[in-house]
Amino acid sequence: MATSKDSDLETGFDYKTPLQLFSEKKYVKICAPMVRYSNCLFRLPFRMLVRKYDCDLAFTPMIISNSFVRSIKARDSDFTTCKEDRPLIVQFAANNSQDFADAAEIVSPFADGVDLNCGCPQRWAMGEGYGACLISKPELVQDVVRQARNRVNQQHFTVSIKIRIHEDIRRTVDFCQKAEHAGASWVTVHGRTAKQRRQPVNQEAVRIIKDSVGIPVVSNGDIKQLDDCYTVYEKTHADGFMAANGLLENPAMFAGFRETPKECVKKWIDLSLSLGTSFQCFHHHLMFMLEKVMGRPERRIFNMLGSTSAVLAFLRDNYDL
């Protein structure tokens, strides 16, 4: 498991824990996890970038708990952090309490909490007993939360869940209440069912869940601009807002920028080069950031570039970067 050489917590780096953020802020702005198919996204360099633009809290990409626990190679591949990468939540896919609790114990010295993915709707995940299939297994989720709570005895370390909703919102409310009673610190609600993709997020469902539990509730889905946080807050009174695609396209979104500013692209280049980011990750994020700036012919050329030097030359010649 790769961490910076000074990643211990005695470095003087000042930050607020997730629970402090929820207690002090009107709402918390959160960088979402991503699932395995895009595992080069939202890793350490990108988390460091969004933190420069008013992102309060960041998640790792979703990590498969059993391989993480059993393989040092998987740990080194899947989880890299540093002392400034805080507050940080590590999200795991798990289908049993033992794997999740073991994984939580391993990352607890380097993170502020763990999160159980109960929302991924992809077929491969649900076929392994991960993701959205867990919203139909409340007793299992209760045990997963309880075991992780018992394993990591740290006051500020959180154990949260990220879910999708049932068609019958009463089932989702019951699910969240059971998770709360088991010790869940907070819950993120993606306001779509496992079968829904591009349908509008059910904000009424988020509001009902918020009114039914005593722990913080985060709303996920359709947050593309900072203004969306204001709008959804009025409808749900959620304690936080989580963005994925909006941040991919504009890492400065939470700071109020309508599109990715040039300075943000420059910071991404500097961070990537200084942290030894893979070319795939470096290039992929730039493709998202510059998509609305480039015309179709430029995008076609840019997407075919095969080296960091070629990308830097293209940006210098076309965008004075």
Domain residue ranges in the chain: 2-255, 262-319
Q: What is the mean pLDDT of residues 278-296?
A: 93
What single-letter amino acid sits at 316?
A: R
**Of 281, 259, 257, whose CA–CA distance to 268 is shortest?**
281
Residue 39: what pLDDT? 62
Cβ neighbour number for residue 251 with a 10 Å cutoff? 28
Residue 36: what pLDDT? 53
Mean predicted lDDT score pLDDT of the chain: 93
Which of the pair, 149 or 38, is modelled with greater confidence? Answer: 149
* Topology adopted by domain 2-255: TIM Barrel (3.20.20)
Dig out the tokens for 57 from the structure: 């809290």
Cβ neighbour number for residue 96 with a 10 Å cutoff? 15
Rounded Cα distance between 188 and 44, Å, is 22
Residue 3: what pLDDT? 53
In this structure, are strands 28-31 and 57-59 parallel, antiparallel, or unpaired? Answer: parallel
Q: For residue range 251-275, what is the model confidence (pLDDT) as tens digits?
A: 999 999 999 999 999 999 999 999 9
Specify the DSSP element, H or E, that contains 236: helix 226-236
**In the structure, what pLDDT confidence band is assigned to residue 15 with cuts at 50, 70 and 90?**
confident
Q: For residue range 101-113, what is the model confidence (pLDDT) as tens digits?
A: 999 999 999 999 9
145 Cα distance to chain centroid: 19
Instruction: Confirm whether 118 is a catalytic residue.
Output: no
Q: Give residues with Cβ within 8 angstroms of 89, minimum separation 6.
A: 18, 33, 57, 58, 59, 60, 111, 112, 113, 114, 115, 158, 160
Q: Give residues with Cβ within 8 angstroms of 85, minimum separation 6.
A: 44, 47, 48, 51, 58
Place of tokens 């018992």: 150
Q: For residue range 27-52, what is the model confidence (pLDDT) as tens digits?
A: 999 999 987 555 678 899 999 999 99
- pTM, full prediction: 0.94
DSSP state of 136: G
Rounded Cα distance between 238 and 28, Å, is 9
DSSP reduced 3-state for 116? strand
Active-site position among 31, 118, 120, 229: 120
**In the structure, what pLDDT confidence band is assigned to residue 13 with cuts at 50, 70 and 90?**
low
Q: What is the mean pLDDT of residues 143-169?
A: 96
Give yes or no for a contact between 92 and 103, defined as CB atoms under 8 angstroms apart. yes
Dig out the tokens for 123 from the structure: 């077929």
Residue 40: what pLDDT? 77
Residue 34: what pLDDT? 83
Angle between helices 226-236 and 203-212 (to 10 degrees): 60
Q: Give residues with Cβ within 8 angstroms of 300, minimum separation 6.
A: none
Portion of the chain with pLDDT greater than 90, in percent: 88
pLDDT at 198 over 90: no
Residue 14: what pLDDT? 76
Cβ neighbour number for residue 195 with a 10 Å cutoff? 10
Length of the chain in terms of residues written? 321
pLDDT at 60 over 60: yes
Which of the pair, 76 or 39, is modelled with greater confidence? Answer: 76
Rounded Cα distance between 315 and 320, Å, is 6
What single-letter amino acid sits at 69?
A: V
